[in-house]
A and B are shown apart, each in its own frame.
Chain A
Amino acid sequence: MKLSRVVRWEFSQNVRSKQFLIMTIMLPAIIGIAVFAVTQAMGTEVSRSDAPPPVIIGLFLAMILFLGAFMSGVMTMYGILKEKQNRCAELMLSTVSAWELMSGKMIGLGLTGLIQVTVWGLTAYLVVGMFIPVSLASLTPVHWITYPIYFVLGFLFIASIFGTVGAAIKDIHSGGAIGIVGIIPYVPMMFTAFIVTQPNHLWVRIASFIPPFAPGVMLLRLGAAPMAESGPTSIPTWEVALSLLSLGVGTFLMMRFAAKVFEVGMLMTGKTASLKELWRWGIRGNRNRKIGGAE
């Protein structure tokens, strides 16, 4: 299948890049070794404490998600921009569809990014473990199931937003108004304290169903309140299911949107879309004849 071939290509090209090697292997290794050496030299006493509550783990995951997805998103944006600039797009689109190319790129780069954050997470786990005993014992099976799904979908969603931006701008200096949309998924992080203390507040519940906010909100919410059928401080199962469904559908639609923008944008290398044009490109793609274009 073409899509899986594109995914493999993008993945293998990026895993082999120097940038990936430095960020994923060398940086965590240096930090890990440095911390290990310091603790050995100073003979720090490992303090005893209880396992951290899920909310800390949820917060940690949300932070690592947003950091990792941001970096991976920027990489996707560059990748797509480069595709437009090196004029390879025309050749690619005579072979694969814009959807196959874009989703393949986003998934391939997303996988690289996931490997990256997994390495970071493990490093952090090991480094922190040198000072305080870290245990994941407080996580319930529900957390083990939902956290990875939110993480992966959130990752892809953010990558596809950045992918859309990359497809719509003419060079890296002209993000402008469009770049703003890239920060939408980050908004819940500003309300961390609120979400953690009032996980079932009406606004928090509503935000759980809005795809761009869902990963941030739910990673925090699930940490703060157990999921159960009833109870004032628990999250009903249907809410989690609905939130996941809307995030899944939202991610798919966002990736489609990015592909359509790319379909139009790649043939207009000299132009950055305005927000209005972005909307038009993304909804109608090339099937609409009211798009501008070269010869």
Chain B
Amino acid sequence: MATSVLTVDSIRKQFESVRAVDDVSFSVERGEILGFLGPNGAGKTTTIRMILGIFDPDGGTIRSGHGGAKRVEKERTGYLPEERGLYGDARVGDLLAYFAELKGLPRTEAQRRVTAWLDRFDLVDWQRSKVEKLSKGMQQKVQFIASVLHGPDLVVLDEPFSGLDPVNQDLLKEIIGDLRREGTAILLSSHQMNRVEELCDRIFLIHQGRRVLYGELDEIKESHGEHVVHLRYRGDATQLAETDGVTVRSAEQGALSLILSPQVTPDRLVRELLSDVEVLALHVDRPPLHDIFVRTIGGSDEAQ
């Protein structure tokens, strides 16, 4: 049984004449990663700021799940803002302990956790250094620690991977996975669709302040009904490329990338359409989230 850590119910926020967030509802469950996606200016940051109590919605409610109708407590949330920033002249260890204490941890416990987390991110040697002496990537890791160190029920991560090298990206991915296993609810906002696909259980796509997609990642892909095909071949593929329901994404010498519309199943592709060519390699998959994102946002823009 999933239990909601956060329930957002038809919240609205207006800035002057702009309706930044309009009737948005979703929930985040314990031990779940919800991908919170949308183009720039869609209302993501505004929604996140309302969830974290930085400002209040004009209408609707934001409740924390474990107590029922309670407001979200700042002590039980962690936040990694997209706009990174820390007090440059403070020492790394002091700063993290300060944040943890503000989140309600007793001093000794705060200090113990700071050391443990710095150790995990290989930053123990920097504990006594000033924040401004650290590289950008290190500061980023420090800021991530600040968002999770107090063991919150809900963590909001806004572009957590930007600015990290591949090794640290993997480390961060592993740690996010651990947090989920421990039952933390995670709201992950990112433009890196491959990361979202790797990590998220469900996604929420917001556009112009409104919900456009919400649900299980697999189901959303399923419901799009299409397949993406990567084919390496020998022979003449003109006929395949001209079949109804087959769209060519890209074509090179001996390699094709195709999109199959719902009426062309992978089964039909293999049985009927590939008979003219000698198949060297074939890869069939659901469309990447990237395509779904672009199509959904593009489609809703045209509809206006």
The A/B interface has a contact count, at CB < 8 Å, of: 78
Chain A contacts of B20 at CB under 8 A? 293, 295
Dominant SS among interface residues on chain B: loop
Residue of B nearest to A87 (CB): B85
Query: Contact: B56 with A90, CB < 8 Å?
Result: no
Query: Contact: A90 with B102, CB < 8 Å?
Result: no
Cα-based distance from A287 to B13 in the complex (angstroms) = 11
Query: Contact: A291 with B15, CB < 8 Å?
Result: yes
Known contacts A94-B52, A96-B74, A289 near B85 by CB under 8 Å: no
Query: Contact: A90 with B83, CB < 8 Å?
Result: yes
Q: How many residues of A contact B (CB 8 A)?
A: 27
Chain B contacts of A293 at CB under 8 A? 15, 20, 46
Contact residue among A91, A292, A294 (Cβ-Cβ distance under 8 Å from B85)? A91
Interface residues of B in 65-108 (CB under 8 A from A): 74, 77, 79, 81, 83-90, 98-99, 101-103
Interface 9-residue window, one of A2-10, A114-122, A134-142, A274-282: A2-10
Cα-based distance from A222 to B90 in the complex (angstroms) = 43
Chain A contacts of B288 at CB under 8 A? none
Contact residue among A9, A89, A287, A295 (Cβ-Cβ distance under 8 Å from B56)? A287
Residue of B nearest to A88 (CB): B85
Interface assignment of A34: CB less than 8 Å from any CB of chain B: no
Query: Contact: A96 with B13, CB < 8 Å?
Result: no
Query: Contact: A295 with B46, CB < 8 Å?
Result: yes
Query: Contact: A94 with B14, CB < 8 Å?
Result: no
Interface assignment of B45: CB less than 8 Å from any CB of chain A: yes
Known contacts A86-B85, A291-B15, A91 near B146 by CB under 8 Å: yes
Query: Contact: B15 with A292, CB < 8 Å?
Result: yes
**How many whole Å from A91's CB to the nearest CB in chain B?**
6
Cα-based distance from A292 to B14 in the complex (angstroms) = 9
Residue of A nearest to B17 (CB): A290
Interface assignment of A17: CB less than 8 Å from any CB of chain B: yes
Chain A contacts of B52 at CB under 8 A? 93-94
Interface assignment of A123: CB less than 8 Å from any CB of chain B: no
Query: Interface of A with B (CB < 8 Å)?
Result: 2, 5-6, 9, 13, 17, 86-91, 93-96, 263, 267, 286-287, 289-295
What are 14 inter-chain pairs, A to B, with CB distance below 8 A?
A: A13-B90, A17-B89, A86-B87, A88-B86, A91-B85, A91-B99, A94-B52, A94-B81, A267-B49, A267-B55, A289-B15, A290-B16, A291-B15, A293-B20
